[in-house]
Amino acid sequence: MAQTFTQNQAIVEVDTQNDVELRNVVKIYNGEAAVRGIDLNVRQGEFFSILGPSGCGKTTTLRLIAGFEEPTTGEVFIRGRDVSGVPPYRRPVNTVFQSYALFGHMTVWDNVAFGLRLKKTSKAEIQARVSEALQLVKMESFARRSPSQLSGGQQQRVALARALVNRPTVVLLDEPLGALDLKLRKEMQVELSNLHKELGVTFVMVTHDQEEALSLSDRIAVMNAGLVEQVGSPSEIYEYPRSPFVADFIGDTNLFHGYVEATDPSLIKMVTEEGSSILVKPGDGWHGSVGNAVVVSIRPEKVHVSLESPNADNVFEGRLKHSMYLGTHVHYVVKLVSGETVTVSQPNRLGTAIATDEPIFVSWSSADCLALIN
Domain ranges of the chain: 2-239, 252-373
Task: With H, G, I as helix, E, B as strand and everything else as coil, classify residue 328.
Answer: coil
pLDDT (tens digit per residue) in 193-213: 888 888 888 999 999 889 889
Task: Tell me how far the alpha carbon of residue 223 is from its chain's centroid.
Answer: 9
pLDDT of residue 179: 65
Residue of 6, 355, 52 lying closest to 221 (CA atoms): 52
Q: What is the pLDDT of residue 9?
A: 37
pLDDT of residue 12: 41
Cα–Cα distance for residue pair 34/225, rounded to 1 Å? 7
pLDDT > 60? residue 100: yes
- Identify the pLDDT of residue 325: 83
Q: Give yes or no for residue 6 having a pLDDT over 60.
A: no
Name the CATH superfamily for 252-373: Nucleic acid-binding proteins (2.40.50.140)
CB burial readout 82-106, b (16+ within 10 A) else e: ebeebeeeebbbbbbbbebebeeee
**284, pLDDT greater than 90:** no
Average pLDDT, the chain: 88
Please tell me the predicted confidence (pLDDT) of residue 373.
85
CA distance 112 to 95: 13
| Cβ burial, residue 225 (10 Å; 0-12/13-18/19+) | middle
Sign of CA dihedral 49, 3, 8, 164: negative
Q: What is the phi-psi region of residue 37: left when phi exceeds 0, alpha when psi lies from -120 to 50, beta otherwise?
A: left
Burial class (CB in 10 A: 0-12, 13-18, 19+), 1: exposed
Average pLDDT over residues 52-62: 94
74 CB burial (10 A radius; 0-12, 13-18, 19+): middle
Residue 180 contacts by C-beta under 8 Å, 6 or more apart in sequence?
Answer: 152, 153, 156, 188
Q: Is the pLDDT score of 78 beyond 90?
A: yes
pLDDT at 191 (0 to 100): 80
166-196 pLDDT, tens digit per residue, is 888 999 998 877 767 777 778 778 888 888 8
351 pLDDT band (50/70/90 cuts)? Answer: low
Reduce the DSSP state of residue 80 to 3 states and report it. Answer: coil
Q: Coil, helix or strand for 20?
A: strand
Q: Give the global pTM.
A: 0.85
Does residue 358 carry a pLDDT above 60? yes
Residue 10 has pLDDT above 50, yes or no: no
Of the pLDDT bands very low, low, confident and very high (cuts 50, 70, 90), residue 50 is very high
Whether the predicted pLDDT of 319 surpasses 80: yes
- Is the per-residue pLDDT at 16 higher than 80? no
d(CA 175, CA 170): 16
Taken in order 124, 128, 133, 137, the sign of the CA dihedral is positive
What is the C-alpha to C-alpha distance for residues 54 and 207, in angstroms, rounded to an integer? 9
The mean-pLDDT minimum among 14-23, 295-304, 310-319, 332-341 falls in: 14-23
More confident residue, 364 or 120: 364
Average pLDDT over residues 46-57: 95
- The whole-number pLDDT of residue 274 equals 94
How does residue 353 score in pLDDT terms, banded at 50, 70 and 90? low
Residue 193, pLDDT score: 87
pLDDT of residue 44: 94
The predicted structure's pLDDT at residue 355: 76
Residue 66 has pLDDT above 70, yes or no: yes
Phi, psi of 61 (to 5 degrees): -60, -45
pLDDT of residue 230: 96
| DSSP-assigned letter for residue 311 | S
pLDDT at 352: 58
Query: Which CATH superfamily does the domain covering 2-239 fall into?
Result: P-loop containing nucleotide triphosphate hydrolases (3.40.50.300)
Amino acid 14: pLDDT = 47
Average pLDDT over residues 356-371: 92
Q: With contact defined as beta carbons under 8 Å apart, do 250 and 241 qualify? A: yes
| Residue 27 near residue 72 (C-beta atoms within 8 A) | yes
